[in-house]
Amino acid sequence: MAADAPPAVEFDGIAKSFGPVRANDGVSFAVAAGSIHGIVGENGAGKSTLMSILYGFYQPDAGRILLDGVPARIAESAEAIRLGIGMVHQHFVLVEDFTVLENIVLGVEGGFRLGAGLTAARRRLAEIEAAYGLAVDPDAVAGELPLGLRQRIEILKALYRGARILILDEPTAVLAPAETERLFAILRRLAGEGKTILLITHKLREIRTLTDRVTVMRGGRVVADLATSQTDEATLAELMVGRKLAGLPAAATAEPGAVRLAVQGLSIPGRLDRIDLALCAGEIVGVAGVAGNGQSELLEALAGLVPAEGAVLFDGSPVPLRDRARALRRLGLAHIPEDRQRMGLVGGFEAWETAILGYQREASHARRGFLRIRPAREETRRRMAAFDIRPPEPRLRSAAFSGGNQQKLIAARETARTPKVLLVGQPTRGVDIGAIELIHARLRVLRAQGTAILLVSSELDEILVLADRILVMSGGRITGALDRAEASERRIGLMMAGVPG
């Protein structure tokens, strides 16, 4: 771009409050046209609020946005789209029963003659796919596609609508490493074609690898705005949290105790194939694998959430098939689900209701069939302080918290009672570096207290840091097992790709 060209986007003194919560406080920075600009900060730092203002979801209380040097009032998302702004959300906004083509034209069908509009859209879509290397079968059903391809649909939707400014919110949170590399290649190609990309991510390695410039937010304010080449991951992490992060503790040698949870021949037709597994007190067992190879089904089957064949034993005693999930809860099993919004909380519930969800019948929360609301709110307030959940408001709707703070709320709930068995799915997905430190520390404490933990994570470095034993899944089966001492990211990656360990 010409040196004297105006920024593609400029934020000038943006302020936004939700009741007593100041989400953005005088935010100012500029994004160069044709660049990839990273935006980082802790959960609740104001990143998503700022992008929602740019996309027309919210109106600022003060300040202004300039596009190509011209002030713009973006009253709604439709206006943002007309101005060439597109957004790919962390949680995909797709109609899963629709085809790829139907999702892409939804809302811009082209008039009453749907058939003619779809034919024209198919031609235009083929042109976009060829230009940017975003090939997806237009007749495939969206809900049947892997996550990486669903994300491509979201990018195609934005480009189909003429986006020249593309916002991506935690785009790699649900992607396997190979899918992440493909996404990066696409983003570089888009930037090379003159598109401007704003990237929200907690993964500082991605910031260093992909972006030209990075803005750091903390407490709703900009605390740094600098060229990526002038910084490093450690500096960015300290800017994000406002303190020097503690180094990782030395890995302690596991001393497994009695078998807490065991399964024999656990199967779900077409999804899980005769899984044999034992989880012992005082150890963390990590499960690695490319997304879609049975890890999610394994967690749900172990938690009793889906029907499955095979024997399940808890402390050596069989668990009945009927109402297995509730029986396992009573025996001492807790579960941090992979999909926090679908399985971990109810968006319309207040935070204190989410904080007791699944435990609401316990004596500490109920008396004679009525909820003890005041003690539940006070307990939630204490957990919010312990897990640094922001804002610390038990009466705030669960949906109003950032994704990372929702995750901390669920983690606080499921770990509070020192469960005998803890099933953990993607515990730090979309979570900032300070919260990762906190959640990892909590898992280590539980292990030391005798909890048996099964950890499913797409982050190989997370598994290597936490797990005592590592299992690799492929095609719904456990295809390999390693002790931590013999494991490496390369070796696990090869096993995930089907190369014997």
pLDDT tens for residues 132-150? 878 889 999 998 887 778 8
pLDDT, tens digit (0-9, with 9 covering 90-100), for 444-487:
999 999 999 999 998 888 999 999 999 999 889 998 899 988 88
Could you tell me what percent of the chain has a pLDDT over 70? 94
Contact (Cβ atoms closer than 8 angstroms) between residue 159 and residue 151? no
Burial class (CB in 10 A: 0-12, 13-18, 19+), 139: exposed
pLDDT, tens digit (0-9, with 9 covering 90-100), for 260-290:
999 999 999 988 999 999 999 999 999 988 7
More confident residue, 254 or 289: 289
Give the domains, in start order, of the chain with CATH numbers: 9-241 (3.40.50.300), 259-496 (3.40.50.300)
Confidence of residue 54 (pLDDT cuts 50, 70, 90): very high
Contacts of 270 (CB under 8 A, 6+ apart): 476
* pLDDT on residue 116: 63
Burial class (CB in 10 A: 0-12, 13-18, 19+), 285: buried
Confidence of residue 90 (pLDDT cuts 50, 70, 90): confident
* Consecutive H or E run containing 470: strand 469-474
How high does pLDDT run on average in the chain? Answer: 89
pLDDT, tens digit (0-9, with 9 covering 90-100), for 373-420:
999 999 999 999 999 898 899 999 999 888 889 999 999 999 999 999
pLDDT, tens digit (0-9, with 9 covering 90-100), for 162-194:
899 999 988 887 776 777 888 899 899 999 999
248 pLDDT above the threshold of 60: no
Which tokens is 162 given? Answer: 């003429």
Give me the sign of the Cα torsion angle 402, 408, 413, 414. positive
More confident residue, 356 or 432: 356
Task: Tell me the pTM.
Answer: 0.74
70-77's contacts with Cβ under 8 Å and 24+ in sequence apart are none
